[in-house]
Amino acid sequence: MTTTATTHGMDGTLVAPDWPPLTLDEVGAVLARFPALGPPARILSVSPRPFSAAGVVSTRHGAVFVKRHHRSVRDREGLLEEHRFLAHLLAHGVRVPRVHASAQGETAIELGDSLFEVHEIPEGIDLYADAISWTPFQTAAHACSAGQALARLHLASRSFAAPPRKSRPLVASFSIFASRDPIAAMARYLAARPSLAGHRGIRVCAAQAIDLLTPFHAELAPLLPAIGSLWTHNDLHASNLFWSNRSAGAHSTAIIDFGLADRTCAVHDLANAIERNIVEWLALVQGTKQPPAVHFDHLEALLAGYESIRPLSQQEAAALAPMTALCHVEFALSEADYFLGVLRSEERAAMAYDGWLVGHASWFLGEAGHKLLDALRRRAKARNARGAAIQ
């Protein structure tokens, strides 16, 4: 974490925050609901994450992580959806932060137009505190450990029976290409979000994305009935993990930041982890002449780590390539919804619906995209061939 009030910009630079940083006075008002923690002494650090205001705060009984959301982004029920999932994972042995409850038993604290949550600080260190999505792991060993952590989460999540989340900003859902008719599903997705439904640029780019991604949906559709559904993290980036130490061989000690969580499927979550960590997408918006780098050694380590804990079924392995091309769609649209409906920023919304939604889709149809997806297809065929030989 950084100690200055800056956040990650969409091009990877540090920019002024959209949401004012936490103040000691407001944190004091929140922690007054938590007498067991005691009053705040100092804000130790400010999170650079862009969609809320958060930081590590010292109290009489240790440090906590305090996060503030505007009601237009998260309401009480939206936060409680995430907190119930975290509580389930904790109860099933997954290392995630515990959400502190107030003296009245509340974990989502409402003050004016804001909602607050107070998390414990997980075991380990925030090794990738200043890393943003679409920047790589430091080492293949880190990628392997991340894969193992995600697999453990999926095993624990199987018994979490909550339905999919309602329409909310900044959630990485999976409904459009989970449908047999993506065109109709896209229309329903846009219609449920007023800031998107009447926007011409969104409609044009959504149609382009459907057209570009149709071959991948055709590849995925026959496999969908066999891959099931479960609640997933949907943003397993290196910076959403705590780590044992700063070495090249460090292992993950906890998974954090469940704001994008929803009921999708294990393959969707794993594909998101590939997209977030393996392809350096920022090259597309930073004006460099170099195409996005693809870290194939980290890809193999991530998948090997995952399958050492939870082997993929044959259908899941076959679905991973097309899902990797499709998984970004709904979060790109959700970001556009946030930028238009909450921040009223057409410029940043365009980066989401044109740059991310259409730009990423186009990349997967190019040479580099084919190379990544073909690597996943070859891996699926090889593991299936090994399985057939054993039988």
Q: Provide the CA 75 distance to its chain's centre, in angstroms.
A: 19
- Characterize 103-120 residue by residue with b for buried, 16 or more Cβ atoms within 10 angstroms of its Cβ, and e for exposed: eeebbbbeeeebbbbbbb
Beta bridge partners of 70: 114
Q: Any idea which fold 140-390 has?
A: Aminoglycoside 3'-phosphotransferase; Chain: A, domain 2 (3.90.1200)
CB 14 within 8 A of CB 8: yes
pLDDT above 80 for 142 = yes
pTM above 0.75, yes or no: yes
Q: Provide the CA 307 distance to its chain's centre, in angstroms.
A: 20
pLDDT above 60 for 4 = no
Predicted pLDDT of residue 2: 41
CA dihedral over 302, 304, 306, 308, signed as positive or negative: negative
Longest dimension (CA), the chain: 66
Q: Residue with structure tokens 């940083």?
A: 21
Task: Return the minimum-mean-pLDDT range out of 4-8, 181-185, 230-234, 356-360.
Answer: 4-8
Task: Return the minimum-mean-pLDDT range out of 130-134, 172-176, 210-214.
Answer: 130-134
Write down the mean pLDDT value for the chain: 93
The predicted model gives 63-81 an average pLDDT of 96
What whole-number percentage of the chain has pLDDT above 90?
Answer: 86
Predicted pLDDT of residue 278: 96
List every span in the chain annotated with CATH 3.90.1200: 140-390
Of residues 100 and 283, the one with the higher pLDDT is: 100
Distance CA 256, CA 233 (A): 9
pLDDT above 90 for 126 = yes
Predicted pLDDT of residue 49: 86
pLDDT band at 3 (very low <50, low <70, confident <90, very high): very low
pLDDT above 80 for 388 = no
The predicted model gives 49-72 an average pLDDT of 94
Tokens for 54, please give them.
């958060």
Distance CA 46, CA 17 (A): 11
Q: What is the pLDDT of residues 327-348, one digit of tens each?
A: 999 999 999 999 999 999 999 9
The predicted model gives 111-129 an average pLDDT of 95
pLDDT above 80 for 8 = no
List every span in the chain annotated with CATH 3.30.200.20: 7-120
Predicted pLDDT of residue 286: 66
Distance CA 76, CA 45 (A): 25
Beta bridge partners of 255: 241
Q: What is the pLDDT of residues 260-283, one digit of tens each?
A: 999 999 999 999 999 999 999 888
Q: Residue with structure tokens 């891959």?
A: 227
Alpha-carbon distances of 241 from 45, 142, 146, 304, rounded to whole Å: 17, 10, 8, 18
pLDDT band at 50 (very low <50, low <70, confident <90, very high): confident
What whole-number percentage of the chain has pLDDT above 70?
Answer: 93
Of residues 286 and 334, the one with the higher pLDDT is: 334
Distance CA 287, CA 355 (A): 13
Distance CA 314, CA 12 (A): 37
Predicted pLDDT of residue 391: 41
Question: Could you tell me which CATH number the domain at 7-120 has?
Answer: 3.30.200.20
Q: Secondary structure of the chain in the HEC alphabet?
A: CECCCCEECCCCCEECCCCCCCCHHHHHHHHCCCCCCCCEEEEEEECCCCCCEEEEEEECCEEEEEEEEECCCCCHHHHHHHHHHHHHHHHCCCCCCCECCCCCCCCCEEECCEEEEEEECCCCECCCCCCCCCCCCCCHHHHHHHHHHHHHHHHHHCCCCCCCCCCCCCCCCCCCCCCCCHHHHHHHHHHCCHHHHCCHHHHHHHHHHHHHHHHHHHHHHHHHHHCCCEEECCCCCHHHEEECCCCCCCCEEEECCCCCCEEECHHHHHHHHHHHHHECHHHHCCCCCCCCCECHHHHHHHHHHHHHHCCCCHHHHHHHHHHHHHCCHHHHHHHHHHHHHCCCCHHHHHHHHHHHHHHHHHHHCCHHHHHHHHHHHHHHHHHHHHHHHHC
- CB count within 10 Å of CB 43 equals 17
Predicted pLDDT of residue 291: 86
Of residues 327 and 134, the one with the higher pLDDT is: 327
Distance CA 176, CA 161 (A): 21
Task: Return the minimum-mean-pLDDT range out of 57-71, 294-308, 372-386.
Answer: 372-386
The predicted model gives 377-387 an average pLDDT of 83
CB 303 within 8 A of CB 266: no
Distance CA 99, CA 119 (A): 4
Distance CA 197, CA 194 (A): 5
pLDDT band at 248 (very low <50, low <70, confident <90, very high): very high
